[in-house]
Structure 1
Amino acid sequence: MRIALIGATGFIGSAILKEALSRGHQVTAVVAHPGKLAPAANLTPVGVDVLDQAQLAARLKGVDAVISAFSGHAQSDVYDYYLRGIRAIIVATKEAAVPRLLVVGGAGSLEVAPGLQLLDTPNFPAMYKPTAEGAREALRLLREEKSLNWTMLSPSAVIAPGERTGKFRLGGDRLLADEKGESRISVEDYAVAMVDELEKPTHLRQRFTVGY
């Protein structure tokens, strides 16, 4: 499959890139600094400013799917930068007539109780709020789309480097936790779940989550 992966050098994006290449997909890595990517079979790095909607649309033409691991973590105004980027990605995907958009979401918009999202709980870390609020707004934007075939995958509360086990649970809009009450997923298994969804779509126009 021909994939455009936006943010392929980031924490989650690099894991998705590794997983996609390991399965033989042809990946166009859409990044700000293509020189950061080591050469690999089936990998084509391209330098694009995601906020340049026209340039982005031109680069997305001809692929079977776009996976967005775009984030604004390195920016001073994370929330504003992220939303400008995700809006550009949505419009560019439609302009390029790409059949599908998969988006890396956040855990903050997952419910921990009926009507209560993780982001709105008292102990949610302040340093992660701009990112979580941006991801929640991105989900709202996607749900308002009338024609775009989108999917968002939210991780568990904790996503960190670990093992690729291939053993995890999938859920909907509620935060997943294990028997110890811990909500976690390795970035490697998150990537497995994302590429699984790419290959065998089961959450069209939906958000879902992954955890142990």
Structure 2
Amino acid sequence: MVGTRVVDEASARGHDVVAVSRTGEGRSAVVTASVDVRDRVQVRELLRTADVAVSAVRPRPGEEASVPETTAALLDATAETGTRLLLVGGAGPLTSPASPALLVIDDERYVPPQWRSSAVASLAQLQVCEGHEAAWTYLSPPAILEPGLRTGTYRRGTTMLLVDGTGRSHISAEDLAVAVMDEVENPSGVRHFTVAY
């Protein structure tokens, strides 16, 4: 969902895009490729001519434990090629607005039990990034990320989950893609950030 929106946003802004997926299927306006992101050789070859890599890889249900390995492979490949990497991760590593000592992963208001394995994977993903020398940036989306409208607006924060006046933490996948491309085009230098309405 997010990857498709990022491809659309990048294409609309005039970027040359190579969209990578498990199947190689994609939009007609971009080059597509089928790659196993854990295969460093394949990824490295794709990155040789890229200025920036954006990863919005999501594991299949039940395969969340593969996230650290996949992330390490991407980081290794980008470090070898000197390519900046922007990872769209999860909200799990953010702190809760209820208490800076509480991670969102442990706050059931934002991460109910059925989403916990994904949140655990996102925390592990960020930890892998923090231990790597590659040029990476980690974007934690808000608690609720759904398809919707592109408004072109969002708020930006650092490591605390953003909520609106009603306590809701949300953004459309389309506006998350806007935030991704804004960071790609104008890097903030911040390693970990979040966005929401």
* Alignment equivalent of 1:206, drawn from 177, 191, 196: 191
Which residue is equivalent to 1:107?
91
Question: Aligned in 2, Cα 1:155/1:122: closer, same or farther, shift over 3 Å?
Answer: closer
Indicate if the aligned counterparts of 1:149 and 1:205 stay in contact, CA closer than 8 A. no
1:130 aligns with 2:112: no
Deviation at 1:133, TM superposition (A): 1.2
Indicate if the aligned counterparts of 1:171 and 1:209 stay in contact, CA closer than 8 A. yes
Deviation at 1:77, TM superposition (A): 2.5
Distance 1:75 1:168 in 2: 29
Amino acid at match of 1:156: P
1:54 aligns with 2:38: no
Write the deviation string for residues 147-187 of structure 1: whole angstroms up to 9, x where unpaired.
x2211111111111111111211001011111111111111
For structure 2, the residue ranges without an aligned partner over 5 or more in a row are none
Indicate if the aligned counterparts of 1:68 and 1:103 stay in contact, CA closer than 8 A. yes
Runs of 4+, deviation exceeding 6 Å: none
Alignment of 1:1-212 (within 5 A): 11-34=1-24, 36-40=25-29, 43-72=30-59, 74-78=60-64, 80-98=65-83, 100-112=84-96, 113-123=99-109, 124-146=111-133, 148-202=134-188, 204-212=189-197
Distance 1:127 1:186 in 2: 21
Indicate if the aligned counterparts of 1:176 and 1:210 stay in contact, CA closer than 8 A. yes
Indicate if the aligned counterparts of 2:93 and 2:105 stay in contact, CA closer than 8 A. yes
Task: Let me know the Cα RMSD of the aligned residues.
Answer: 1.4
Distance 1:110 1:143 in 2: 14
Write the deviation string for residues 84-130 of structure 1: whole angstroms up to 9, x where unpaired.
211111111112221x1100011111111111011112453222222
TM-score by length of 1: 0.87
Deviation at 1:205, TM superposition (A): 4.8
Question: Aligned in 2, Cα 1:205/1:57: closer, same or farther, shift over 3 Å?
Answer: farther
Which residue is equivalent to 1:6?
none
Deviation at 1:75, TM superposition (A): 4.8
Determine helix, strand or coil for the equivalent of 2:18: strand
Determine helix, strand or coil for the equivalent of 2:86: strand
Determine helix, strand or coil for the equivalent of 2:184: helix
Q: Greater shift after overlay, 136-145 or 185-194?
A: 136-145
Task: Tell me the percent identity.
Answer: 37
TM-score by length of 2: 0.93
Indicate if the aligned counterparts of 1:51 and 1:88 stay in contact, CA closer than 8 A. yes
The count of residues paired between Structure 1 and Structure 2 equals: 194
Which residue is equivalent to 1:8?
none
Question: Aligned in 2, Cα 1:193/1:37: closer, same or farther, shift over 3 Å?
Answer: same
Distance 1:160 1:75 in 2: 17
Deviation at 1:54, TM superposition (A): 1.4
Write the deviation string for residues 44-97 of structure 1: whole angstroms up to 9, x where unpaired.
11111112111211121111011011111x25322x222221111111111222
Higher relative CO (Cα under 8 Å, sequence separation at least 6) belongs to: 2
Determine helix, strand or coil for the equivalent of 2:73: helix
Question: Aligned in 2, Cα 1:120/1:25: closer, same or farther, shift over 3 Å?
Answer: same
For structure 1, the residue ranges without an aligned partner over 5 or more in a row are 1-10
